[in-house]
Each structure stands twice: as C-alpha cells, then as structure tokens.
A and B are shown apart, each in its own frame.
Chain A
C-alpha cells in the first residue's frame, strides 16, 4: 500500500499507577490505519484494546497515563487553510489541549460499548446530538436540529423529528447505539473508533448495527478502528485485523490472511478455541492452557509464553520478541519468525526490572 497512513501508533506505552503497583495496560503497541480502512482490533480482557482506543482521543480514565510512544494522526480538516505537513502527535498533547478538542468528535469520533450508559439521562437525545454538531460546525440551532434529525433518519430511526425530543430512557439499546452512531457521524470524521459497539446487544440487533456501520462506512468513506473480542464480528466487518495480547499487538494483517493463515501461536490457538458452526459440534475444543495473567504479574519475555504450545524454554521467557514483517501487510511478534533466533539463556534475567523500551 503506497497510501499515506491516517493514523500511526508507534511503540505506545500506557500504564495505570495504582496503590498496589503499576499496571502496564499497553506495552509497545504499533498499529497503522490507512484512510477508509476498517481495522479490527481483537483481544481478550486485559489485552489493552480499549485503552489503546481511548488513548486516540486522550480519554484514558485516571490514573492512566501515556508513558512513551507516538500517536501520529493526519487530520483532514484542521490544517486545510494552513500549510504544514499536517501530522499531529496525539500522545504529545495535554489532555485538555484546544487542538485535541477540535479533533475530538470532528476528526476522530467514538462509539462505546454500553449504549445504555453513553447518554445523559436528563438531556434529550436531540440535545446531545446537536451538541456535537454545534461544537464543530458553524450552524444555527435550527440548522443543527435539522441536521440532527437528518442524521437520525440516516441511521434508521423512524419519526426522527419527534425522536429528537425523546429522552434516552425512551430509546431501546439498539436505538441508542444508532443514535450514538449518528452523533459520531455528525461531523463526518475521517476515523471512527468503535469500542465493542455491539457487545451489549442481542445478536439480531448486533447484525443490524454491523450492517448499518458497513453501509455508512461505504457511504462516508471513513476509516474505522473496530474493537471487539468476537472473531466472527471481525471477520464480517474488518479488512485488516490486529490481534492483541497483554498490551501488545502480536499479529497484524489482512483479515483473510490472519483468519486462514495465522502465524502467531496465540492467534492459532484462539481460532481453534472458538466453537465453529458445523465443524466442532460434539468435539473437544483445543483450549489454551492456563489463564490470562494478572496485570500485576506480567510474564517476562514474550507475554504469551506461559500459555504457548510452542514455547522455547530459555528464549521465550527472557527475550521480548521483535515485530517481524512477513510480507508487506502481515507482521507478527514471535521469536519463531525472527531471522536471528537468540540463543537459549539458561539463567533467565528478570526482564521486568529492565526498562521495557530501549
């Protein structure tokens, strides 16, 4: 791909200092999203996928903080009138920076996991929808209202004009998620961050929302970062996928490539662990051994090594694997694919005490 990337996350580190110790939620994530691309981010709990998404808008809940890394973003509207290379580092801003505020909702919009809680209960849907429009566009209240109703119609809410005056409790979960999408699209952002937008919904509603998102993506041409733990959803919506485990992207590539020809042991195991229609009925699944480690007890070396079926003792527990580019688009973070395999180290050094980034 010769396009210029829309978003480039480089070696991002995010931690949460807590009383009991520091949680390394994101430990060196690299991720590139091109304009108009749907990037799926998959992972189990604690893999840092949501925190990564929140970091794009700098809305990581306290006490989380970005320790290192860059989030390079190329806004499409912000520098229209001024010249310049047009790339901003989102990680470098203060969280209340004016430029950042103009990017939020305008250039990068977000939809959340719990549609039931993402609206203020005491303000009308229309109020919250118009708020987004008025913040970033020069419009009168009246125009904003008309635009709001139009957006509601666009996301498939009937009787949109009257619905503008409804309160969130009068909307069902599916409708709220539609309204949330309407808000997100109100300023035609170039990147939509969708943090598990269908997890809280029933399957039939999930299908509707996925269908809607797919349609709107084609219509508006925005890029989507779609976060989920459901591999099926990823298969259906994403072009590219990044698999995350314990704060790192362990494998990344086109969705077909990853699902059919996975390289990282974790991806392989994950795909085998999912029950598949018509294929696994009545059989034992190939389960991944052990549990997801506590975030206070990050394994040394490769974070997956304690559960990995292909672990090389003395290597995987000491050596942090490097990102290996298998071809133009497919990369993996596993020692098995490194050109120069490190020698087994019989006495594991404690990597935890060493700085995670050189």
Chain B
C-alpha cells in the first residue's frame, strides 16, 4: 500500500541535502560522492573513532619497525638491573634548567637491612642524556633492512623506560616486539575467521532452505560452547615438542577457528536480506549474470558491514591470545607476546612490588579500546544511505 513516510523519516531523507548556504559546486560534490567518501565524512565526525584510528596507526608503526624503535634486543640482559623500576625521563634538572634531549639519572642500589630487599633509587649526581638515532645492537628489519641505528638510547649503560623483568630484560623493547606478535595473531586469526565466515555464511545465505537451516543450527551449536575452556583444551592438545613458531600458527588457527560464527551469521543475514532488495531484483531483470549481481550489487553493499564486524571481533582475538598465553597454554617463550610477558605477573606480589611488569597490559587495553572505537565509528558510518 502507499504510505507516505512519517515526518521524521522524511526529515532524515532530506538531512542529506547540504545546507543552502553551500555553493552549487559543494552541493554537486556531495551528490556525486561515492559510498566511501560518504562513509569517511560520517566517520570523521566521530571523535573517539579518530583517536582510535590514530592509536592503530601507532600500533602499526610499532609492529613494522619494532627493531628500530626498541633500543635493545628483547633478550639482551642488563644483569645489574633485575626487576628494575622504570627510569623517568627528566627535562628539568634540580636547578630547573631545561634539557633536550631529556636525561635519566643514574641508579643507586641499597639493601634494606631488615627485609634484605634490594631498593633502587635515582642517583641525581649522574645525568645520562638520552640520544636519538644512536648506534646500538645490529638488527635486520622486516628481514632485509640491515642496520644498527635505534630510535633512541644512551651511550653509556642502559635506559629502561618501562623497567626490567626478572632477568633484567628491557620491558620497553620486549613490549615493542610483543606488539608485533600479538597484533599479527589478531590479524591472521581474523583472516581465518573472515575466510570461514564468508564461505560458510555465503553458502548458507546463497542456497537458503535446508542447507541454511542446518548451518544455522550448527552455528548455534558452536556458539553454545564456552570459548575459553575449548580453546584451553585445544591449545593443551598441541604437542609439547612443537617448536614455538609452529605453536604460534596453531594457536592462531585455534583462535580463528572459533571466531567465524559471528561473521558467518552476518554474511548470511545480509545476503538473505539483499536477495530481497528491489535493486538486486532490478539487476537480475536488467539481465545481469549471477557474478555481476554478486560482485557489482551485493558485495559492495555488505562489504562495509563485514569490515565493521572484523574490527569489532579483533579485541576478542587479542584478549583470547592474552588469556591463553597468560595461563601458559598459548604462545611459549622465546616467542614474545603481550600474554607471554604477563606470565611474570600472575600474582598480587607482582602488583605490589613490580607494577611495571603490567606494562604490556596497557597495550592490550589500548589496542582493544582503539579497535572498539574504530569499530563503533565505522558501524555508524557503514550505511550512509540508511533512511
């Protein structure tokens, strides 16, 4: 039946019209804007999403150039500085004079005569200036760029911005390398989930009927299994003698293996609803082949939703890996991930005495937040044509 849209519906329709103050040219730019331009314009208005995007960019830089950004190799030990607290960067000395680059103070050890605990304090008589682009340990970045230049460092001794762990390894450097591993687990896990989700969801939505029903029941079934215990069982079943790299891939697959259901559902429901869209019917009547209908009409309209879903599932991957590694079922040293690093911080003692061991957690939280913000922003922008 004919139904004139309600007031609000109509207003929303017209909200897309630019204000009259804009020139005709601006109007035309708006009217000829493609899907992704419209999405970007909408996304841009979401401040948290922009912050998230910025954070993700930093994470990307860290992952790519960990060797350069980290002052030391993740396994280099500062044997004198075990469980060392973070060294503060100072821009002003005790006289109030400004220094750039900033400096760190030397360290002083003292033994508490009663508890026999070693206390570490700053020795303000020694100033060690931070230097940029210093020569340090040689490395091979991305497997082929050979260099020994690090973003920063000190010429004498060590600098530990995030402190050191029980073996005296620089936590800052280790976190940089762990970022690469942890994010890559997320990315590869997502790729697996994406692949499975698209294929299974695609089959379900494309064929419909009985196939669809069976697959949907199967997905419900998978979803009713509590993930972490199953992950644990699967992870525990990996042979102990496997090399760390193989374990890394296996864990990635395990995590990806359980994450596809959400995506598959989304793909399927989107496909089913798209099949009913008038413009898809119109494309069919226009004589489009199946491929053309799928790739010219259907894929572009659900691609944005899929990307949103991927972004939103990313945190679960990261948290999953962190949890698994934390309890010792996930990645194993010498592979370093955020979760592996956190194995050292399993008890209250660690919080009380060595809180800097939790530095990787800040990265976990930031990464999850960044992906959530970006995901939320993209969700709002994903359908610029919604009425």
Contact flag A297-B20 (CB < 8 Å), given A50-B6, A113-B6, A201-B1: yes
**Given A50-B7, A297-B17, 7 more pairs with CB closer than 8 A:** A19-B15, A20-B17, A21-B19, A51-B7, A199-B2, A294-B14, A295-B11
B6-42 toward A: CB 8 Å interface, digit per residue (1/0)? 1110110011111110000000000000000000000
A196 to B8, CA, bound (A): 15
A23 and B14 contacting across the interface, CB-CB below 8 Å: yes
Contact size range, A: 20 to 34
CA distance A25 to B15 in the complex (A): 13
A45 to B8, CA, bound (A): 12
Contacts of B8 in A (CB 8 A): 61
Whether B3 contacts A18 by the Cβ 8 Å rule is no
CB<8 Å pairs between A and B, sample of 28 = A16-B11, A18-B15, A19-B15, A20-B17, A20-B19, A23-B11, A45-B4, A45-B5, A50-B6, A54-B7, A61-B7, A61-B8, A113-B6, A114-B3, A196-B4, A199-B1, A199-B2, A199-B3, A199-B4, A200-B1, A201-B1, A229-B4, A294-B14, A294-B17, A295-B14, A296-B17, A296-B19, A296-B20
> Taking beta carbons and an 8 Å cutoff, which residues of B are in contact with A?
1-8, 10-11, 14-20
In the bound complex, CA of A199 to CA of B16 (Å): 27
User: Which B residues are in CB contact (< 8 Å) with A19?
Assistant: 15
Residues of A within 8 A of B10 (CB): 45-46
| A contact patch SS | loop
A residues near B20, Cβ cutoff 8 Å = 21, 296-297
| Complex CA distance for A54 and B8, rounded to whole angstroms | 12
Determine whether the beta carbon of A20 is less than 8 Å from that of B1: no
> Given the complex of chains A and B, what is the CA–CA distance between A200 and B3 in angstroms?
6
Query: What's the minimum C-beta distance from A293 to chain B, rounded to whole angstroms?
Result: 10
* A23 contacts across to B, CB distance below 8 A: 11, 14
Residues in chain A near residue B5, CB distance under 8 A: 45
Contacting residues, chain A, for B18 (C-beta < 8 A): 20
Q: Which of A51, A196, A295 has the most CB of B within 10 A?
A: A295
B14 contacts which chain A residues (CB < 8 A)?
23, 294-296
Tell me which of A20, A21, A113, A296 contacts B3 (CB under 8 A).
A113
Please give the distance in Å from B47's CB to the nearest CB on chain A: 15
In the assembled complex, the Cα of A54 lies from the Cα of B6 at a distance in Å of: 12
Chain A 290-306 interface mask (CB, 8 Å, partner B; 1/0): 00001111000000000
Q: Please report the C-alpha to C-alpha distance between residue A19 and residue B14 in the assembled complex, in whole angstroms.
A: 11
Residue A202 lies at the interface, judged by CB distance under 8 Å to chain B: yes
What residues on B are CB-neighbors of A51 within 8 Å?
A: 7
Find the B residue at minimum CB distance from A296: B17
Task: Please report the C-alpha to C-alpha distance between residue A16 and residue B5 in the assembled complex, in whole angstroms.
Answer: 17
Provide the residues of chain B in CB contact with A16, threshold 8 Å: 11
Within 8 A of B (CB), among A284-336: 294-297
Which chain B positions have C-beta within 8 A of A296?
A: 14, 17, 19-20
Task: Tell me the residues in window 5-23 of chain A with beta carbons closer than 8 Å to chain B beta carbons.
Answer: 16, 18-21, 23
Cα A199 to Cα B4 with chains together (Å) = 8
Chain B residues near A64 (CB, 8 Å)?
A: 7
